[in-house]
Structure 1
Amino acid sequence: MNYGQLFHKKNSDSFRIHVEEPLRVQQLASAVFSFLPASEDRSIVIVCIGSDRSTGDSLGPLIGTKLLERQCPLFSIYGSLSSPVHAKNLEETMITIKTLHDNPYIIAVDACLGRTTSVGYMTVADGPVKPGAAVQKSLQPVGDIHMTGIVNVSGYMEMLVLQNTRLSLVMDMAESMSRAIWRAAFWQKKRATTLAVAPQKEINL
């Protein structure tokens, strides 16, 4: 898919792809980009949710760290290994975001648990994510859209399951998802530049 086709690509409510798929980064990036607002009126904020104290739950902070290292264009990043966004500071972080950013468009990024056959899948979907749902925590929903990585199996002793998740899987997902977000941000920057230099039609009153 070339850049021009992205303008005409219609978003569906959700998209998912496995971490071992060869074109995962391109397709994830395309899915993220399809949801982004074309107007520059809304700043785009990435909230990477999770904790560096649990292998499975570290997906979000790892993605945030990688995006900060890559200096992701246009997007503001909250949540990293050194400064994670988790259950104890999520509400405060959201207040800060809404104070510093006017009408932000928020992309929530989080790890989640699922069926055995779903482990290794990465998703992009419309609407907010519900942080803590996998471990029976009631936290405020976050995001205009959300990205999740299914890191392990749900249904039994979820906290222990998250702590005993394979680090290699989490690292592979973090690399793929961060690269996809970075690419979507690059396309968004290019779209903003294209719209800024596009000739304005004369309006006859």
Structure 2
Amino acid sequence: MFLFWNRKKREGNGKRIYGIKWGEHIDKQQMEIIACELQNIFQKTASREIVILCIGSDLSIGDSLGPLVGTILEEKQVPYHVYGTLKEPVHAQNITNIVNKIHKRFKDPFIFSIDASLGKNSEIGYISLEEGPLTPGKALKRNLPNVGDYHIKAIVNEIDPSSPTKFLKETRLYMVMNLSKIIAEMIVQTAALKSPCK
């Protein structure tokens, strides 16, 4: 069970639409609110193919959030195109090629990106739904393409500028797995909602 605290903000470009924090219990009403936010976003793109791009590598626990979400979504057979699973991860070495393939396959796709993130200790467990592209590998100072019309990021551990890879490797699988389940459930619920949300 998990508990959510909402932190709804509307500000500038790349604005946060909704933020929640993982705790010990689940509040189904909070889940429905976020699923509605996502459903409204997806409904605005009715004429475009929706692609869920789950970024990360299963070679590092902290970075495995994306592939875990992608695998759960694939198993749940969501009505969206899912890229990035434990079997076929999308990571720093292949993300440019994968994004190019997506754009070749779909005309003007709506890309919804998902990735793990590092932050302050007090922010660990936060899941943030944001408008605008995601910058993968930012904490590791990698030069990767910005991807997504909207994105979700989950803070899985704190960042140490002197050794960010250390914290990705020392992240607890329990934390990453639970955050992955929450994010996947939000997306699964968007497909289950029949009527427009307010």
Tell me the TM-score normalised to structure 2 length. Answer: 0.85
**Partner residue in 2 for 1:185:** 191
Match among 171, 177, 184 for residue 177 of structure 2: 171
In the TM superposition, what whole-angstrom CA distance separates every residue of 1:129-148 from its partner, at most 9, and x where no partner exists? Answer: 10000111110000000001
**Partner residue in 2 for 1:160:** 166
Is residue 43 of structure 1 aligned with residue 31 of structure 2? no
The answer to whether the Cα contact below 8 Å between 2:160 and 2:167 also exists between their aligned partners in 1 is no
Residue 34 of structure 1 and its aligned partner are, at CA, apart by 3.1
**Partner residue in 1 for 2:134:** 129
- Total equivalences in the alignment: 179
Unaligned runs of 5+ in 1: 1-10, 193-205
Is residue 29 of structure 1 aligned with residue 35 of structure 2? yes
Q: Structure 1: how far apart are the matches of 2:70 and 2:175?
A: 17
Q: Structure 2: how far apart are the matches of 1:126 and 1:105?
A: 12
In the TM superposition, what whole-angstrom CA distance separates every residue of 1:71-115 from its partner, at most 9, and x where no partner exists? Answer: 012x10000001000011001000110111121111000000011
Is residue 76 of structure 1 aligned with residue 68 of structure 2? no
Residue 36 of structure 1 and its aligned partner are, at CA, apart by 2.2
Residue 162 of structure 1 and its aligned partner are, at CA, apart by 0.1
**Percent identity (aligned):** 36
Structure showing greater Rg: 1
In the TM superposition, what whole-angstrom CA distance separates every residue of 1:135-188 from its partner, at most 9, and x where no partner exists? Answer: 11110000000001100001331111001101100000000000001111333x
Is residue 100 of structure 1 aligned with residue 105 of structure 2? yes
Q: Structure 2: how far apart are the matches of 1:125 and 1:39?
A: 16
The within-5 A match list for 1:11-30 is: 12=10, 13-14=15-16, 15-20=18-23, 22-23=26-27, 24-30=30-36
Residue 28 of structure 1 and its aligned partner are, at CA, apart by 2.8
Unaligned runs of 5+ in 2: 1-8
Q: Structure 2: how far apart are the matches of 1:130 and 1:45?
A: 17
**Partner residue in 2 for 1:87:** 92
In the TM superposition, what whole-angstrom CA distance separates every residue of 1:37-70 from its partner, at most 9, and x where no partner exists? Answer: 4352101000000000000000000000000000
Q: Structure 1: how far apart are the matches of 2:156 and 2:45?
A: 34
Q: Give the residue type in structure 2 aligned to 1:46.
A: I
The structure with more helix, counted as a fraction of residues = 1
Q: Give the residue type in structure 2 aligned to 1:84.
A: P
Q: Give the residue type in structure 2 aligned to 1:99.
A: K
